[in-house]
Amino acid sequence: MRCIGERVTGGRPQGGKADYDLLVVGGGINGVGIARDAAGRGLSVLLSEKDDLGAATSSASSKLIHGGLRYLEQYEFRLVAEALAEREVLLATARHLVWPTRFVMPHVPELRPRWMIRTGLFLYDHLGVLAVSRGTRRASLPGSRGVRLDRPPLASGLRPHFRHGFEYSDCRVDDARLVVANAMDARARGARVLTRTECVSALRERGLWQVALSNGESATVRAIVNAAGPWVKQLLNDRLRQPSRDAVRLVKGSHIVLPALYAGEHAFILQNDDRRVVFMIPYEGRFTLVGTTDVAVEEAASPQATAEEVQYLCRAVNRYLAKPANVADIVWRYAGVRPLYDDGTSDPSAITRDYTLRVDDDAGAAPVLSVFGGKITTYRRLAEHALEKLAPYFPGMKGAWTAAVPLPGSDFGDAGRERARAALEARYPKIPRATLGALFRRHGTLASAVLGDAARVADLGEDFGGGLTECELAYLAAREWASSADDVLWRRSKAGLHMSESQRARVAARMCR
Ligand SMILES: Cc1cc2nc3c(=O)[nH]c(=O)nc-3n(C[C@H](O)[C@H](O)[C@H](O)COP(=O)(O)OP(=O)(O)OC[C@H]3O[C@@H](n4cnc5c(N)ncnc54)[C@H](O)[C@@H]3O)c2cc1C
């Protein structure tokens, strides 16, 4: 339901015969990443998202910026190396949305021998360093090591017979907000971003695409990027009437959220007896996020975490937990559909997580580039690769630029995260630190744009609970395309998790006012 919110415009067409250089279909992480990169290279960009930004797969992930330790077992060295290098880039350019975490793997000799895990971790540490040192950065995260699980600080929550384990570094991310930050930067660089606007059809005519959108607009564009995620093939075949030899495999993954299952800020990577791994990740201060599953599905719309998946996840963590997780304790569950490139593998867990970009054109004009697969972790690099492939159609286009430019809110300069947060506290001395801390985590340096000239708590307007106030809600609607309660409660923030049913209903009523 769309109740409030604005259509934010910008980025007028640059002349020539087409209204826009590029139409990006899909406002998930890959679509907004490509739109941002293209706008920064001087292309005029229109982005159409049929729902909310990040509403599909990009807000339903495990929320990790990671190389993917388990992909080493599938020999995905290219993907792991690229993802580890991107981890460093995102740590530097999305500093308020990405943060390092230590991951602990309890040792279970009958599942994987010690030498195998040590070898995997050695590779993980060194692939990262190699990939990073080929660029200009140095690896900033500590390497892996063996740990004792029966002593502080890790002796919490696990059954006492798990005495040995390993720990290594990866990162966590606010996935939905990473999408919004990219869209905001795309807009700031001239892109026109339309949410709740579906690309209904596009046809090639005299070397251009003639596009129809669900808001009644039509436009001519020089090129299309098909970043429709789970709908990539459907868009190509049904809306653009393009045959394609590539196929996408839809693999659902579900997560559950429970009151904290253990103390500490480390995450666990738990080996399951089907050779998969399941994560337990500290979440939103007082919860644990548990995921995920791999279930082949036919349909992309409205995925649900089934009772069977929930049981599977509880069983997987209860092999390890001293105090078992109960289905009755689950406070939230969500599911997403991975749009994986079909590499012919039958096991859904083993299908490649790497991406494939396919360009098709009409005698050298009117290209469509389709994105198959990909990870949140690699979205920025994927965008660079996409624009490399489109470069021949835009001879004057500028070069790659996103590796060193912070996303909106992450421009801490040399000050660093703590100094930037301290500056916010100094500017708003009468606003409680907890409120400022939550705003800073969501908006980084843009927290002051949310607060404006608010001097005291009363200036923030109604307190909806869960750390959400009228002041922030108005900002989310005006600047971040939020137009429904779900946009606000489960994507722009996770306030919904901290609220009662009646508090959530109050936000829904406010959004429809
Ligand atoms: C359970 C799970 C866990 C994961 N965990 C991680 C992780 O921890 N780390 C990681 O790096 N990756 C992870 N991933 C992978 C990652 O989430 C996806 O690869 C990524 O989000 C895909 O982004 P996307 O932009 O391609 O697709 P999406 O986010 O699905 O975006 C596609 C968008 O296109 C829109 N759209 C479709 N058709 C049209 C149309 N005709 N007109 C307009 N808009 C349209 C849709 O509404 C949608 O918003 C995970 C995935 C899943 C499912």
**In angstroms, rounded to a whole number, what is the distance separating the alpha carbons of residues 185 and 462?**
29
Contact indicator for 424, 108 with CB cutoff of 8 Å: no
What letters, b where the CB count within 10 A reaches 16 and e where it falls short, cover 267-305? bbbbbbeeebbbbbbbbbeebbbbbbbbbeeeebeebeb
Pocket test for ligand 1, best of 37, 97, 242, 338 (most atoms within 8 A of CB): 338
What letters, b where the CB count within 10 A reaches 16 and e where it falls short, cover 200-221? ebbebeeebbbbbbeeeeebbb
Q: Angle 29-40/379-390 helices, nearest 10 degrees? A: 50
User: What does the DSSP assignment read for 153-198?
Assistant: TT-SSB-TT--EEEEEEEEEE-HHHHHHHHHHHHHHTT-EEESS--
**Rounded distance from Cα 461 to ligand 1 centre (Å):** 34
Pocket test for ligand 1, best of 25, 64, 375 (most atoms within 8 A of CB): 375
Q: Whose CA is nearest to atom 18 of ligand 1?
A: 375
Ligand 1 contact via 33 beta carbon (within 6 Å): no
**In angstroms, rounded to a whole number, what is the distance separating the alpha carbons of residues 265 and 263?**
7
Q: Could you give the angle at the alpha carbon of 339 between the alpha carbons of 335 and 342, nearest 5°?
A: 135
**Rounded distance from Cα 380 to ligand 1 centre (Å):** 14
Residue with tokens 């020999």: 75
**In angstroms, rounded to a whole number, what is the distance separating the alpha carbons of residues 310 and 319?**
15
**Rounded distance from Cα 56 to ligand 1 centre (Å):** 6
Q: Which of 21, 46, 45, 47 is nearest to 394 (CA)?
A: 21
Give the 3-state secondary structure of 267-328: EEEEECCCCCEEEEEEECCCEEEEECCCEEECCCCCCCCCHHHHHHHHHHHHCCECCCCCHH
Would you state the pLDDT for residue 281? 98
Q: Whose CA is nearest to atom 50 of ligand 1?
A: 61
Q: Whose CA is nearest to atom 35 of ligand 1?
A: 26
Pocket test for ligand 1, best of 36, 58, 103, 192 (most atoms within 8 A of CB): 58
Residue with tokens 């789970």: 230
Ligand 1 contact via 220 beta carbon (within 6 Å): no
Tokens found for residue 259 = 């009151």
**In angstroms, rounded to a whole number, what is the distance separating the alpha carbons of residues 513 and 507?**
10
Q: Which of 275, 277, 269 is nearest to 293 (CA)?
A: 277
Q: Whose CA is nearest to atom 25 of ligand 1?
A: 28
**In angstroms, rounded to a whole number, what is the distance separating the alpha carbons of residues 497 and 512?**
21
Q: Which of 280, 256, 230 is nearest to 334 (CA)?
A: 256
Dmax over CA atoms of the chain, in Å, equals 71
**Ligand 1, closest atom to CA 63?**
8
**Rounded distance from Cα 480 to ligand 1 centre (Å):** 19
Per-residue pLDDT of the chain (513 residues; tens, 9 = 90+): 333 333 333 333 333 489 999 999 999 999 999 999 999 999 999 999 999 999 999 999 999 999 888 888 888 888 888 899 999 999 999 999 999 999 999 999 888 889 999 999 998 988 877 666 655 455 689 999 999 998 888 877 999 999 999 999 999 999 999 999 999 999 999 999 999 999 999 999 999 999 999 999 999 999 999 999 999 999 999 999 998 888 899 999 999 999 999 999 999 999 999 989 999 999 999 999 999 999 999 999 999 999 999 999 999 999 999 999 999 999 999 999 999 988 778 777 777 788 999 999 999 999 999 999 999 999 999 999 999 999 999 999 999 999 999 999 999 887 788 899 999 999 999 999 999 999 999 999 999 999 999 999 999 999 999 999 999 999 999 999 999 999 999 999 999 999 999 999 999 999 987
Ligand 1 contact via 410 beta carbon (within 6 Å): no
Q: Whose CA is nearest to atom 26 of ligand 1?
A: 229
Would you state the pLDDT for residue 14? 38
Q: How many CB atoms lie within 10 A of CB 75?
A: 9
Ligand 1 contact via 375 beta carbon (within 6 Å): yes
Ligand 1 contact via 386 beta carbon (within 6 Å): no
**Rounded distance from Cα 207 to ligand 1 centre (Å):** 30
Would you state the pLDDT for residue 9? 35
**Ligand 1, closest atom to CA 56?**
30
Ligand 1 contact via 61 beta carbon (within 6 Å): yes
State CA 17 to chain mean position distance: 35
**In angstroms, rounded to a whole number, what is the distance separating the alpha carbons of residues 374 and 368?**
18
Q: Facing residues of 337 across strands? A: 252
**Ligand 1, closest atom to CA 214?**
42
Q: How many CB atoms lie within 10 A of CB 509?
A: 11
**Rounded distance from Cα 305 to ligand 1 centre (Å):** 17
Ligand 1 contact via 503 beta carbon (within 6 Å): no
